Amino acid sequence: MHSWRRILSILALLSSAVAVPTSSSVVSAPAASPTVPYASDDPNYPLWNEDEDIIPEPIRGTLGASILGPQNIPLELQNTDNLAPPTTDSGSVPNFKWPFTLSHNRLQTGGWARQQNINDMSIATDLAGVDMRLEAGAIREMHWHNDGEWAYIISGDLRVSTVTPEGQVYVGDVSQGDLWYFPAGYPHSIQAKNTTAAGAEFLLVFDSGSFSEDSTFLLTDWLAHVPKEVIAKNFQVNISAFDEIPATELYIFPSTPPPENIESDMVIPNDTPMPYTFAMSQVNATPAPGGSYKVVDTRSFPAATTICSAEVTVEVGGMRELHWHPTEPEWTFFISGQARMTVYASSSQANTIDFQAGDIAYVPPSYGHYVENTGNSTLVFLEIFKSGLFQDISLTQWLALTPHELVKAHLGLSDAVIDSFSRVKQEVVGPTY
Ligand code: MN
Ligand code: MN
């Protein structure tokens, strides 16, 4: 593969060197004379992967030297491109990787929750995430918060509910690969069903980087801080009815699983104008040359006005193509496989970082990036955006559709090479070329 890439790049150089003006235009422009040197032809493959039985060293070609001080070899094996970055890397992009492994977990009877917000990754100003686990029957206490909440079910089955400011109700069931969305301030409930013995785990993403799972508004926490006689007056019942309300918050706690028949669990039939859950698991993935992808935004899930997503599959050796998102911050979650991303931040700033399943990446709007499958298994990840609409710009499509003389003037490519660029957005490209 390496030698093929070199041959292709040499051919491209030759073809640009022997290019003859074919047009009969009046003034034939001089061949592009470089005002800056050509970029290096050196490839910059990841130098090892986490499965290798080696002592990693910060050495790439003639650059670098061995480590004399302490080494954390497991971390260095996972973070190849931090220790021995590609020579194309430059400057320092604010850190855009956070492994949920490093989040401080909150253990409760019946489950746990760990989060990533701007305190963990300063670049992630617009989105935050929570990984939550509920055993069968366990409840995430009824609550609300200032930020919109989007969820993706990693495993298991759950029942959720909300009530709108108009007094309408929605109760829905979700399974692995499905979504829910609750607008900012809407009260909601989350409970794991007992259809799987283990219960459920799910990813929550919030449309603010400063969201904290520890600062939501909780039913029990509120009532524990209202004078009892006021509670009685509010509900118009005798004060003794509230003898057993908790003194402190419950947050996550075990309970009896909800009845399997969802209708039997409803006080009144759902009457919201639209559903607040979406069966993304039932959407057919769009095939791509190097994998496949599913996009779900307000075009199919209209309730989710501030967060949308793409579930992307990349086969071994393939990659999510070079692209950016015009106005949308991206919060990426790796579900399986290994990957690397280079994030280009303008001003000659570009850093490459490696990712494993369970890691989070964050890419600000307009920052150029790709996601390459660097492992030996299928890569699956979620791209989650603070937007109601999924949008991206494909570098390949941009170049394919722009007047070719312009593209040639920038990159010195041959007509044949430019003609080979896909005019259709591919999203995920294959390993072979
Ligand atoms: Mn919530
Ligand atoms: Mn992206």
pLDDT in tens, 100-125: 999 999 999 999 999 999 999 999 99
pLDDT above 80 for 24: no
Q: Which residues of 9-46 are buried (b: 16+ CB within 10 A; e: fewer)?
A: eeebeeebeeeeeeeeeeeeeeeeeeeeeeeeeeebeb
pLDDT above 50 for 10: no
Q: For residue 127, how far is its CA from the centre of ligand 1 (angstroms)?
A: 14
Q: For residue 383, how far is its CA from the centre of ligand 2 (angstroms)?
A: 6
Mean pLDDT of 185-196: 97
Q: For residue 77, how far is its CA from the centre of ligand 1 (angstroms)?
A: 36
Q: How far apart are the first and last CA of the chain?
A: 10
Higher pLDDT, 315 or 19: 315
For Cα atoms 125, 202, 172, give the angle at the middle one, nearest 5 degrees.
Answer: 110
- Which pLDDT band holds residue 4 (cuts at 50, 70, 90)? very low
What stretches of 365-421 show up as alpha helix (H) in DSSP?
395-401, 404-411, 415-420
Q: For residue 325, how far is its CA from the centre of ligand 2 (angstroms)?
A: 6
Q: For residue 207, how far is its CA from the centre of ligand 2 (angstroms)?
A: 17
- Which pLDDT band holds residue 79 (cuts at 50, 70, 90)? very high
Predicted local distance difference test score (pLDDT) of residue 433: 74
Chain position carrying tokens 């760990």 = 114
Q: Which ligand is nearest to the CA of 384?
A: 2
pLDDT above 80 for 30: no
- Which pLDDT band holds residue 31 (cuts at 50, 70, 90)? low
Q: Comparing C-alpha atoms, which of 99, 124, 133, 106 is closest to residue 358?
A: 99
Q: Which of 41-45, 157-161, 254-258, 375-379 has the lowest mean pLDDT?
A: 41-45
Q: For residue 205, how far is its CA from the centre of ligand 1 (angstroms)?
A: 9
Predicted local distance difference test score (pLDDT) of residue 352: 98
Query: Judging by beta carbons within 10 Å of its beta carbon (0-12, 13-18, 19+), is residue 305 exposed, middle or buried?
Result: middle
Type of residue at 260: E
Domain ranges of the chain: 98-278, 284-429
pLDDT above 60 for 177: yes
Predicted local distance difference test score (pLDDT) of residue 21: 43
Question: Has 427 been annotated as catalytic?
Answer: no
Please write the tens of the pLDDT for every residue from 280-301.
Answer: 999 999 999 999 999 999 999 9
- Which pLDDT band holds residue 407 (cuts at 50, 70, 90)? very high
Q: Which residues contact 77 (CB under 8 A, 6 or more apart)?
A: 48, 49, 50, 51, 52, 54, 56
Q: Is 98-278's fold the same as 284-429's?
A: yes
- Which pLDDT band holds residue 342 (cuts at 50, 70, 90)? very high
Predicted local distance difference test score (pLDDT) of residue 39: 93
Type of residue at 49: N
Predicted local distance difference test score (pLDDT) of residue 42: 87
Q: What is the mean pLDDT of the chain?
A: 93
Q: Which ligand is nearest to the CA of 331?
A: 2
Predicted local distance difference test score (pLDDT) of residue 367: 98
Q: For residue 123, how far is its CA from the centre of ligand 1 (angstroms)?
A: 23
Q: For residue 126, how far is its CA from the centre of ligand 1 (angstroms)?
A: 17
pLDDT above 50 for 99: yes
Q: Which residues of 268-293 are buried (b: 16+ CB within 10 A; e: fewer)?
A: eeeebeeebbbbbeebeeeebbbbbb
Q: Which ligand is nearest to the CA of 113?
A: 1
pLDDT above 60 for 8: no
Could you confirm whether domain 284-429 is CATH 2.60.120.10? yes
**CATH code for the structural domain at 98-278:** 2.60.120.10
pLDDT above 80 for 22: no
pLDDT above 70 for 7: no
Q: Which of 11-15, 87-91, 176-180 has the lowest mean pLDDT?
A: 11-15
pLDDT above 50 for 310: yes
Structure token digits, residue 396: 């390949």
Q: For residue 357, how far is its CA from the centre of ligand 2 (angstroms)?
A: 17
Predicted local distance difference test score (pLDDT) of residue 198: 95
Instruction: Catalytic residue, from 263, 383, 405, 427: name it.
Output: 383
Q: For residue 283, how far is its CA from the centre of ligand 1 (angstroms)?
A: 25
Predicted local distance difference test score (pLDDT) of residue 28: 52
Q: For residue 149, how far is its CA from the centre of ligand 1 (angstroms)?
A: 6
Asked whether the beta carbons of 132 and 210 are under 8 A apart, the reply is no
Q: Which ligand is nearest to the CA of 160?
A: 1
Predicted local distance difference test score (pLDDT) of residue 156: 98
pLDDT above 90 for 27: no
Mean pLDDT of 177-185: 98
Please write the tens of the pLDDT for every residue from 227-238.
Answer: 999 999 999 999
pLDDT above 90 for 34: no
Predicted local distance difference test score (pLDDT) of residue 340: 98
- Which pLDDT band holds residue 399 (cuts at 50, 70, 90)? very high
